[in-house]
Amino acid sequence: MNITCPQCGFSRELPADRLPARAVIATCPKCACRFRFSPEDGVLETLDAPAPRDGAAAGSAGQDDPLPPGAIVPGRQVREEEPEHAASEAEGKRREPRSEDGGAFADRPDAAPEQEEEEDIRRTASRAYAREAARLRESEQDADPHAEHDYEANPWETAPGHDGWLASFYQTVMRVMFAAPRFFGSLNPEAPQLRALCFYLIICVVQTVVERFWGGILLAIMAPSAATDPQLEKMLALLAPQSNLAMTLLLRTAMLVLQLYVFSGLTHLAYRFVAPDRASFPLVFQVMVYSSAPALLCVIPALGSLAGMVWGLACMAVGCRAALRLNWPQTLLGFVPVCMVMGPMILQLLYAVQS
């Protein structure tokens, strides 16, 4: 809609969305004439005419009453010395809409300052939230920087800790048997081998004592039948202990420790060819040590020892893959030397039992 001032003829086009819904009072930005208008009827009435300018008033006053040369008119020197930007600022203030006006024809200031103020508030809030989040992250890291690592670490390495030796041993066995990938993936290659070797010796001692106990019970049960069965008698003679418990513990423990180092060395040598950049003897040694944890299933008579051996081999394969970050073909190729050594031993044992 085009609105025209009835006093000076100044006009301005207003969009339809800014038109008022009723009759309002508007102010002309050029001559400051105030008039009432409505969108339907246009200009209804002129409320007041523009006041005469100060310069014109001063000029007319000068013509009626001329001043002597050098006379100082109050206010004129001040206006002459005002900077140009002050006049522009006054003009801007004069153009602001009055509270009683409708503001449809008056020269309104743009809404950009309000939007900029809202954007400044949002940016300030965003920066405050970012600082608070960073502070919380730093406080969590400072409070417990190794919380996740401690949870995934080997409990036997930190024994006795708060829970004691027995609880640490039990937790280690449970993690090896039921969370092997996570446990072996967190092994530390710089961990002392002596502590891991102590874990292995405990497993060997428990396994030797339990197997001797179940072997004695088996011999006592099957001894009457062996008198009439020569094959059974040979098998019982082979299973019968040839020395006391202390000597058996010493000899078998020494043999198992030697076997541990031989198998660890062979496996490490194989991985040196399969994955040279990932082979690590400390990690392979720890995998061999902690994979013996399922051997504690020997407490179950009959099938316990067999199940423990199979479970231990599975933990060994999973452990090498997780600790050395290998794929399955590389992992299985690393066990080829061990299988070549153990194969003849198993065949010889089976031949001795059959004969």
pLDDT digits (tens, 9 = 90+) for 166-216: 989 999 999 999 999 999 999 999 888 899 999 999 999 999 999 888 877
pLDDT confidence of residue 48: 66
Provide the pLDDT for residue 328: 92
Taking the C-alpha atoms of residue 265 and residue 257, their distance in angstroms, rounded to an integer, is 12
* Better pLDDT: 154 or 153: 154
> What's the mean pLDDT when you consider all of the chain?
75
Q: What is the pTM of this model?
A: 0.55
Element (H, E) at 42: strand 42-48
Instruction: Give 16's pLDDT tier (boundaries 50, 70, 90).
Output: confident
Whole-angstrom CA distances from 299 to 203, 296, 315 are: 12, 6, 19
Q: How many CA atoms lie within 13 A of 145 on its CB side?
A: 2
What integer pLDDT is reported at residue 323 of this predicted model? 93
Q: What pLDDT is stored for residue 97 in this prediction?
A: 45
| Average pLDDT score over residue span 136-143 | 62
Give pLDDT, residue 283. Answer: 94
Could you tell me the pLDDT band of residue 89, with boundaries at 50, 70 and 90? low
Using the predicted structure, report yes or no on whether residue 84 has a pLDDT greater than 60.
Answer: no
Q: pLDDT grade, residue 290 (50/70/90)?
A: very high
List phi, psi (to 5°) of 281: -65, -40
Residue 81 in tokens: 């010395």
Query: How far apart, in Å, are the Cα atoms of 272 and each of 267, 334, 336?
Result: 9, 9, 13
Separation of alpha carbons 122 and 116, rounded Å: 10
**Does residue 320 surpass a pLDDT of 60?**
yes
| Distance in angstroms (rounded) separating the CA atoms of residues 47 and 49 | 7
User: How sure is the predictor about 330, in pLDDT bands with cuts at 50, 70 and 90?
Assistant: very high
* Torsion, Cα of 343, 348, 354, 355 (10° steps): 160
Candidates 11, 9, 29; CA nearest to 109 is 29
- For 85-95, what is the mean pLDDT? 49
User: What torsion do the CA atoms of 280, 281, 287, 289 make, to the nearest 10 degrees?
Assistant: -160
228 vs 28 pLDDT, higher one: 28
- The residues pairing with 43 across neighbouring beta strands, listed in sequence order, are 37
pLDDT confidence tier of residue 295, bands split at 50, 70 and 90: very high
